[in-house]
Structure 1
C-alpha cells in the first residue's frame, strides 16, 4: 500500500514562520524556529513554515500523489506569485512524503501533473518512508 503526504514548505536560516503566515495570509499546518529542540540532543538548524491545505491542522494522507498535488496547487494558485517571491530568499518546495508498506510501485507523474508543476514554478521533493502497518486512508484528515 502506498500513501502520500503533501505540503508546501518554506524553510531557511532566516525564515520567520509568523511573517510567512502574514505574507501568505494562510495558517501553517506545521512551523518551527531555528534553535528549537529537536529530540533530546539536538536543535533545528533552520526554521520551517509548512502548509498542507485549508482543512489540515495535521497532515492529510492521499492515496494518489497526483490527486493531492493538483488539489493543493489549485488551492494555492492565487498565491503563486507571492510564493515565488518567497523562493527568491528562502527554500520553497513541494514536500511529498511517500509512505509504503512494500518495495514495489510508487507514484506516477502524468503529463498534466508535470505541466502544472512547471507552471507553478516550485521544485518537488519526494521523501520515501517504509511503514510496516497499513492505515485506512478514506480521504479523511488523519
Structure 2
C-alpha cells in the first residue's frame, strides 16, 4: 500500500514564519524561526510549511496523491498571487512524502493537476520511503 503526505513549504535565511502566516492568513503545520534555530544550535534555515492541518477534510496521509493535492490546492488557490510572490522572495517547495511497503507502483498525477501545480512556479519534490512493515 502507498501513502502520501503533502506540504507547501518556504525556506529562507530572512524568512519570518509569522510574516508568512499573516500574508497568507494561514497557520502553519510546521515552522522554524531564526530564534528557534539558534536555540537548537543546528544548521537549519527558517521554514514555514502548510499541509492543511485543521482544515475540513484534512488527512495526515493520503492514499491518492492527486486527492491530497486537490485538497491542498482548494485551500491555497484563493491565495495564489501571494504564494507566487512569496516564491520569488523565498525558496518554495511542494514537498510530498511517498511511503511504500512494496515496489508495485507509485504516484500518478493528471496533466491538468501538473499544469496547476506548475502555475505556482514552485518545484515539486517527491521523497520516497520504503518500509517492509505492513501498515
Instruction: Please indicate the TM-score interval, normalised by the length of the shorter structure.
Output: 0.7 to 0.9
The CA RMSD over aligned residues, in Å, is 2.0
Distance 1:87 1:133, change over 3 A: same
Q: For 2:22 and 2:46, locate their aligned partners in 1 and report how far apart those are by CA, in whole Å.
A: 16
Tell me if the contact between 2:83 and 2:120 (Cα under 8 Å) persists in the aligned partners: no
Q: TM-score, normalised by structure 1?
A: 0.82
> Which structure 2 segments of 5+ residues have no match?
none
Alpha-carbon deviations, 1:8-66, whole Å to 9, x = none?
101122111111111111000011134252xxxx614201110011526x971100011
Distance 1:59 1:132, change over 3 A: farther
Q: For 1:59 and 1:18, locate their aligned partners in 2 and report how far apart those are by CA, in whole Å.
A: 24
Tell me if the contact between 1:84 and 1:121 (Cα under 8 Å) persists in the aligned partners: yes
The corresponding residue for 2:63 is 63
The corresponding residue for 2:113 is 113
Q: TM-score, normalised by structure 2?
A: 0.86
Bigger strand fraction? 1
Q: For 1:134 and 1:21, locate their aligned partners in 2 and report how far apart those are by CA, in whole Å.
A: 37
The corresponding residue for 2:132 is 132
Q: For 1:50 and 1:93, locate their aligned partners in 2 and report how far apart those are by CA, in whole Å.
A: 9
> Which structure 1 segments of 5+ residues have no match?
136-142
Distance 1:85 1:19, change over 3 A: same
What is the number of residues matched between the two proteins? Answer: 130
Bigger helix fraction? 2
Q: For 1:71 and 1:121, locate their aligned partners in 2 and report how far apart those are by CA, in whole Å.
A: 19
The corresponding residue for 2:4 is 4
The corresponding residue for 1:91 is 91
